[in-house]
Structure 1
Amino acid sequence: MRLPVSAKESFVEFAGVQKTYDGEVLVVKDLSLRIRRGEFLTLLGPSGSGKTTTLMMLAGFETPTAGDIMLDGNRIDALPPEKRNIGMVFQNYALFPHMSVAQNVGYPLKVRGVSKAETAERVVKALDMVELGSFAARMPGQLSGGQQQRVALARALVFEPKLVLMDEPLGALDKQLREHMQMEIRHLHERLGITVVYVTHDQSEALTMSDRVAVFNAGIIQQVAPPSELYESPANSFVAQFIGENNRLPGRIEAANGTLCSVVLGSGEVVSATLTSAAGVGQNCLLSIRPERVKIAPPDGAVDNRFEAEIAEVIYLGDHVRVRCRLDGGSEVVVKVSNVEDRPVLDIGSRIPLGWRAQDCRALDAA
């Protein structure tokens, strides 16, 4: 587990930042967040969670109601956007349709008074960076969506900003192109060592691209962690439900011993689990188990929780099979089974043993 970002390491910092539009409802609540230099940090959350407002305050398009925003040790919350030296990439690309690719990319240099000769040189370098060197004379209307997004990225990088912000930049692309551009942006970040703050509501995109992810809900950061930690060790039930597929079983904590606890489900089954954000003994909780952590026909001693179940549904998904099982007590769990040659026969209505380890089952808050 990586340690939190110290004040010395911090390149971008939000300190007690709040934002309200009507003077009553806070869309961002007491936000404190530090971002390392060279880090790729994603702000992830559902619509209305505060992630885009946070990005817009960092860009300078929104003003905080309270708190401070720092960039490289200097307060910037009172600076206009053009004084912050921040690159910005939007979902709709925001290219000028009457300008060529080269003119679009060179525009930030033009408004900064850079000479024509230096502008031309830096435009060539930026377009080569995104593998569009031969497209300089084309107009935006002659480009595909992915090519337009690359032009927008080159324009954000051409003036060598301290920081690049990206607001749902791949939202308008189809699935295959979006996945390709995810890796393009990730590799570009690694090559240049730039600091990127990225906004998305797509959890798969966030996990794929980020060094760390800040999960927002109702204006509050629920957890900031590397992707693997978010997935494997969600801090609460919201993060567990929002990140990846998840079996959710409501229950009550019957006993606790250190990091482990016993949970009684509504159907009467008793489950051994890892105690995390749940309350104490006698309190309601929500058990979280990832479908791939549930084992069908586990060997003796391989799991802490073992049940008999009936297969209720089988869905073929190519590389894996999604199996919905009904435990004898009535609870339902979904199992993700790799589609390999020796996988067990899975017929609807048949009975199978299944189970999972206590360390793979987390007792979270019941909210």
Structure 2
Amino acid sequence: MAETTDPFVRFQGIQKSYDGETLVVKDLWLDIAKGEFLTLLGPSGSGKTTCLMMLAGFETPTHGDIILDRTPINTVPPHRRGIGMVFQNYALFPHMSVAENVGYPLKVRGVGRADARDRVRRALDMVELGALGSRRPAQLSGGQQQRVALARALVFEPSLVLLDEPLGALDKTLREQMQYELKHIHETLGVTMVYVTHDQSEALTMSDRIAVFNDGVIQQLDQPSMLYEHPGNAFVAQFIGENNKLMGRVEDVAGDRCRVRADSGDLVEALAIRASGLGERTLMSLRPERVSVNPPPGSMPNVFDAEVLELIYLGDHLRSRMRVCGQTDFIVKVPNWAGHVHLRPGEHLTVGWHVEDCRALDA
């Protein structure tokens, strides 16, 4: 985002407390660009949904300002903000038809009947429900109801759409299908979307950027690939994707690299991301797919003895739990090809990884 361009949405020093003592959101500064798909990701109670509700107008900040398109909106009621909203429970009117549900935002805005009819038709066609306008919500599947809720949020052409865990009630297959459809709609319309979820796969699939929340604070704000490949602290590393954790103490630091004496006594070379002081505790983070089985001698600086404890067949790869560096929960994702499918529990071998794939973070 260019520094000379005003953000479309700005959270400016936002704090939120419900009891006057405990801050649910702590000094939030966040800019969202026009047309961006930003996901607020984090565990329950991390503050992400509270931020969305403050932007929607259903909650009021305890301190700070929310700016929408250069206009402060703290005191603007929800219905005057011009924001589309999609909830997890759909919030459809059961006594209205699909078309009436979608057209409701136009009715309360006084849009003429003919214009409203055209807009409803376009919105339903966009979510591929054009033939179901006369049905009631109870006659639709969960995925269809979610599409109706999305069409209703988009029908009045808002510049900002907020989505509060909208796919949480769907089954896995339908949820994945809807992720791609949402992404496609976003790319087609160019509308700004702010999406709340605790599901990291949803966030990685759809987002331009992800703000990872914990304890009311953004831990890291970045593109999906950067969050996965370059987590900035131990919380982000463990929350985004699967990670092996090796605890130890820093023995040496040279530039951006360090050597860590693992609790098992093994010496591990890693990138010094959050480990700078000699003797300090650190958590080393390593993705399971970055671990090689029986690497050629001299090909990697980190090579250790391992024992296969458990194997799970997952089609395109084997998920192997091994004993490595004293850890019995060390996971290695082994590609399913002829050289690897013969691993057996109890087998002894070596595993290795590059320095660039092992990150020494906060303990």
Give TM-score scaled by structure 2 length: 0.98
Please show how residues 109-258 of structure 1 align to structure 2 within 5 Å.
109-258=106-255
Q: Contact (CA 8 Å) 1:5, 1:35: kept in 2 or not?
A: no
- Compute the displacement of 1:279 (Å): 4.1
In 1, Cα distance between the equivalents of 2:336 and 2:4? 47
Q: Contact (CA 8 Å) 1:39, 1:195: kept in 2 or not?
A: yes
Please show how residues 240-319 of structure 1 align to structure 2 within 5 Å.
240-319=237-316
Structure 2 SS opposite 1:10? coil
Structure 2 SS opposite 1:336? strand
Q: Contact (CA 8 Å) 1:211, 1:226: kept in 2 or not?
A: yes
- Compute the displacement of 1:169 (Å): 0.1
1:334 matched residue in structure 2: 331
- Compute the displacement of 1:7 (Å): 6.1
> What CA RMSD, in Å, does the superposition of the two structures yield over aligned residues?
1.1
Structure 1 SS opposite 2:246? strand
2:344 matched residue in structure 1: 347
In 2, Cα distance between the equivalents of 1:59 and 1:277? 36
Q: Contact (CA 8 Å) 2:6, 2:70: kept in 1 or not?
A: no
In 1, Cα distance between the equivalents of 2:312 and 2:6? 47
Amino acid aligned to 2:87? F
- Of 344-353 and 137-146, more deviation after overlay is shown by 344-353
Q: Name the % identity.
A: 65
Q: Contact (CA 8 Å) 2:57, 2:76: kept in 1 or not?
A: yes
- Compute the displacement of 1:302 (Å): 2.7
2:27 matched residue in structure 1: 30
1:8 matched residue in structure 2: 5
- Compute the displacement of 1:120 (Å): 0.5
| Residues matched between the structures, number | 362
Deviation digits for residues 107-130 of structure 1, max 9, x if unmatched? 000000111111101101111111
2:93 matched residue in structure 1: 96
1:108 matched residue in structure 2: 105
Structure 1 SS opposite 2:8? strand
In 2, Cα distance between the equivalents of 1:61 and 1:119? 27
Pick from 16, 24, 27: which aligns with 1:19? 16
In 1, Cα distance between the equivalents of 2:341 and 2:335? 10
Amino acid aligned to 1:277? R
Q: Contact (CA 8 Å) 1:9, 1:37: kept in 2 or not?
A: no
- Compute the displacement of 1:340 (Å): 2.2
Deviation digits for residues 173-204 of structure 1, max 9, x if unmatched? 00000000000100000111110000000011
Which structure 2 segments of 5+ residues have no match? none
In 2, Cα distance between the equivalents of 1:222 and 1:330? 30
Amino acid aligned to 1:93? Y
Structure 1 SS opposite 2:320? strand
Structure 2 SS opposite 1:239? helix
Q: Contact (CA 8 Å) 1:279, 1:365: kept in 2 or not?
A: no
Q: Contact (CA 8 Å) 1:5, 1:36: kept in 2 or not?
A: no
Alpha carbons of structure 1 residues 101 and 85: separation in structure 2 relative to 1, 3 Å: same
In 2, Cα distance between the equivalents of 1:270 and 1:89? 51
Amino acid aligned to 1:99? M
Amino acid aligned to 2:117? A
Alpha carbons of structure 1 residues 286 and 5: separation in structure 2 relative to 1, 3 Å: farther
- Compute the displacement of 1:6 (Å): 3.3
Pick from 45, 53, 56: which aligns with 2:53? 56
Which structure 1 segments of 5+ residues have no match? none
Q: Contact (CA 8 Å) 2:301, 2:355: kept in 1 or not?
A: yes
Deviation digits for residues 150-171 of structure 1, max 9, x if unmatched? 0000000000001000000000
- Compute the displacement of 1:31 (Å): 0.4
In 1, Cα distance between the equivalents of 2:3 and 2:65? 17
In 2, Cα distance between the equivalents of 1:301 and 1:345? 24
Q: Contact (CA 8 Å) 2:318, 2:341: kept in 1 or not?
A: no
Amino acid aligned to 2:327? S
Q: Contact (CA 8 Å) 1:168, 1:199: kept in 2 or not?
A: yes
In 1, Cα distance between the equivalents of 2:77 and 2:88? 22
Alpha carbons of structure 1 residues 54 and 177: separation in structure 2 relative to 1, 3 Å: same
Amino acid aligned to 2:36? E
Give TM-score scaled by structure 1 length: 0.97
- Of 318-327 and 56-65, more deviation after overlay is shown by 318-327
In 2, Cα distance between the equivalents of 1:167 and 1:205? 12
In 2, Cα distance between the equivalents of 1:107 and 1:279? 58
Structure 1 SS opposite 2:283? strand
